[in-house]
Amino acid sequence: MGRPFTFPDRTIVVTGGANGIGYARAERFLAEGAARVVLADLDGERAAAAAAELGARAQGYQLDVTDAEAVAALIEEVERDSPIDLWCSNAGVTTGGGLGSDADWDRTWRVHVLAHVYVARLLLPRMVERGGGHLLITASAAGLLTNIDSAPYSVTKHGAVALAEWLAILHGDEGIDISCLCPMGVNTAMTAKDGPDAATRLGGDYLEPEDVAQSVVEALNEGRFLILPHPKAAVMEQRRASDRDRWLAGMRRARARLKGGSGR
């Protein structure tokens, strides 16, 4: 268990912050008393508009999280005014199904893994030097279980979870706290086109972004590493760990049901 995180007077950066759970978290952090929330997004115009919606304590910036130099520049820009207390490394992408193309693997690897590595390299040493800070990596329940629709998505989200765990082990005794957010289906632009046979339907009803923001605030207040807005994910992960063969067979049956087959 890490240190409880409180929001008053804090400076927070949220990547992928112009929409979805990134925007919902930014809105909630401000409601909790954050002094300053920076919304960073590949769509700079939308980030600026979203910040304007949230008021004077929000700022919007264009950021490609896969560009280490751009990440370094944003950190430098934000910390001219105040040190970053919490960085929510939240940007994500979807790709085609199945094994995907080489381009799918490259894109998901850069966004779902390397983007977090860049933040860890560039920001965590600053946090260590000043004796405190928090990094929240958004992975997915697919990183604890699997996403049977997309190998690139599933594998890189597993990588995000593994990186978060590694960072928590490395920096936990240096005043740095790491959290890992692993939701199942959430009603966002990324899931808007999900059909009835989408793998994310295995988690049941989709949550709203505001529900995820609530789970994040509660977990940060309690100093928890793993944030599971869908409690079902914990049960499924325990089953996976206790009997992998049985879990794999169950996932095959679930896939067959989703695709209209009978399974066995």
Residue ranges of alpha helices (H) inside 139-231 are 151-171, 209-222
Interval 58-115: pLDDT, tens: 999 999 999 999 999 999 999 999 999 999 999 999 887 899 999 999 999 999 999 9
CB atoms under 10 Å from CB of 250, counted, come to 15
Q: Which position has the token pair 């949220």?
A: 14
Residue pair 182/237 in contact by the 8 Å Cβ criterion: no
Enter the tokens of residue 62.
Answer: 């264009």
Percent of the chain with pLDDT over 90: 80
Q: What is the separation of C-alpha 134 from the centre of its chain, rounded to a whole number of angstroms?
A: 14
236 CB-near residues (< 8 Å, 6+ apart): 141, 144, 145, 247
Mean pLDDT of 189-215: 73
Q: Predicted confidence band at 204 (pLDDT cuts at 50, 70, 90)?
A: low
Catalytic residue positions? Answer: 153
Q: What is the DSSP letter of 111?
A: I
CA distance 231 to 254: 19
Q: Predicted confidence band at 191 (pLDDT cuts at 50, 70, 90)?
A: low
CA distance 58 to 242: 45
Mean pLDDT of 147-171: 96
Better-scored residue on pLDDT, 51 or 258: 51
CA distance 222 to 13: 20
Q: How many helices (H) and strands (E) does the chain have?
A: 9, 7
Q: What confidence score (pLDDT) does residue 229 get?
A: 95
Residue pair 12/39 in contact by the 8 Å Cβ criterion: no
Better-scored residue on pLDDT, 106 or 260: 106
Enter the tokens of residue 78.
Answer: 């934000």
Query: Edge-to-edge, what's the strand order for the sheet holding 176-181?
Result: 58-62, 36-41, 11-15, 86-89, 133-138, 176-181, 226-227
Collapse the DSSP code of 37 into the 3-class scheme (helix H, G, I; strand E, B; otherwise coil) and give the result. strand
Amino acid at residue number 222? E
